[in-house]
Amino acid sequence: MTPTSRRSFLRGACAFGAASSLAGCMTAGQEAKAGPASSGKGFFASRGLPIGIQLYTLGDLIRTDLDGTLKKTAEIGYKTVEMAGYAGKTPAQLKTSFDAAGLSCTSAHVPIRVGTTEEPGLLGDLNKLADDMHTVGAKHVIAPALAAPTDITLTPPPEGAAGLARLAAAMTEDHWKRQAAQLNSIGAKLKTHDIAFGYHNHNIEFVTVNGRTGYEILLAETDPRFVAFEMDIGWVAAAGADLVQLFQKHSGRFGLAHLKDLKATTTPNFEFKMDPTEVGSGELDWARILPAAYKAGVRKFFVEQEAPFAFPRLESAEKCYAFLSTLKA
């Protein structure tokens, strides 16, 4: 990455603007990131907000030792979790495990499938999904990624995350609008069950189509009554987009956020690529980002770290929590 492109990337990700100092976004110690010294409480405690964790962060530990892993997660200090699948359990079993650990499951990632606006669907029946969420106690269902369009032909055929990135790059404005219509339909149906619906981004949504990013089209075309957005801060930064500007421009659209950090070696891209690290150990300026997120309406924050991990997953989760729980902003 050239000095110029790296400087532009960090300014965008940390939202300092043209007159700001690059040094404020560099890793010069957590003291610089924590903002002005204060004798008050940290960001989360001062606002009465729990620090949550996306269970995807903990990988196979959730399936191989659910109860033990949840107990250790709670001991770290986490209060809320967001599901990523059912870990081979029934909703009732999950609820029992969450309660035993003293954790609240407030949100769940559930993949959407390709369909029409009349029958958008999720994986499974929407009525049953709502019942499952009520059993677990979750009030939010989040689509973790876009539904792959079936009318785009690519050679070789797209597979996995890389394939989805290729599909996103080939999507037209109409494709993005159809995705938004699908989200609207799902959200409207889930709302009748008192379940809120949202969309979680990666960096593939930041490809440009007719002067707008796919993400901007989704924001413009979705109905705020039915669709909220869970901003994945790390993936937005990996796209080179301006985090704070997005929060400011679309205030009120974001109810949830994923907290993940990036190493300096991350370069702007739209292809599911980043160099992740524990929150507080990377390049992002959390003392600026978190207040902007809160002002925009975010009230549910979940640590989510991507592989590869430099430490055992629970140890990484503990490092993230230690930083966030003491951060003053």
User: What span, in angstroms and rounded, lies between the C-alpha atoms of 258 and 201?
Assistant: 10
Average pLDDT, the chain: 87
Sign of CA dihedral 167, 173, 174, 179: positive
* 196-227: pLDDT as tens digits: 999 999 999 999 999 999 999 999 999 999 99
Q: By C-alpha distance, which of 316, 324, 286, 319 is closest to 13?
A: 286
Residue 113 dihedral angles phi and psi, to the nearest 5°? -110, 165
pLDDT above 70 (res 301): yes
CB 108 within 8 A of CB 82: yes
Which residues lie closer than 8 Å to 20 by C-beta, 6 or more apart? 11, 14
* pLDDT band with cut points at 50, 70 and 90 for residue 112: confident
Amino acid in position 39: S
User: What span, in angstroms and rounded, lies between the C-alpha atoms of 225 and 223?
Assistant: 5
* pLDDT band with cut points at 50, 70 and 90 for residue 282: very high
pLDDT above 50 (res 33): no
What's residue 9's pLDDT? Answer: 36
Token pair in block for residue 160: 């996995």
Query: Which residue did the predictor score with more confidence, 11 or 167?
Result: 167
* 141-197: pLDDT as tens digits: 999 999 888 899 999 988 889 999 999 999 999 999 999 999 999 999 999 999 999
pLDDT above 80 (res 5): no
* pLDDT band with cut points at 50, 70 and 90 for residue 125: confident
* pLDDT band with cut points at 50, 70 and 90 for residue 15: very low
Q: How far apart are the first and last CA of the chain?
A: 30
* 75-84, 111-120, 130-139, 297-306: segment of lowest average pLDDT: 111-120
Radius of gyration of the chain measured on its C-alpha atoms: 19
Domains, the chain:
46-326 (3.20.20.150)
* 55-109: pLDDT as tens digits: 999 999 999 999 999 999 999 999 999 999 999 999 999 999 999 999 999 999 9
User: What span, in angstroms and rounded, lies between the C-alpha atoms of 20 and 125?
Assistant: 50
Query: Which residue did the predictor score with more confidence, 293 or 116?
Result: 293
pLDDT above 70 (res 116): no
- HEC profile of the chain: CCHHHHHHHHHHHHCCCCCCCHHHHCCCCHHHHCCCCCCCCCHHHHCCCCCEEEHHHHCCHHHHCHHHHHHHHHHHCCCEEEEECCCCCCHHHHHHHHHHHCCEEEEEECCECCCCCCCCCECECHHHHHHHHHHHCCCEEEECCCCCCCCCCCCCCCCHHHHHHHHHHHCCHHHHHHHHHHHHHHHHHHHCCCCEEEEECCCHHHCEECCEEHHHHHHHHCCCCCCEEEEEHHHHHHCCCCHHHHHHHCCCCEEEEEECEECCCCCCCCCCCCCEECCCCCCCCHHHHHHHHHHHCCCEEEECCCCCCCCCHHHHHHHHHHHHHHCCC
pLDDT above 90 (res 230): yes
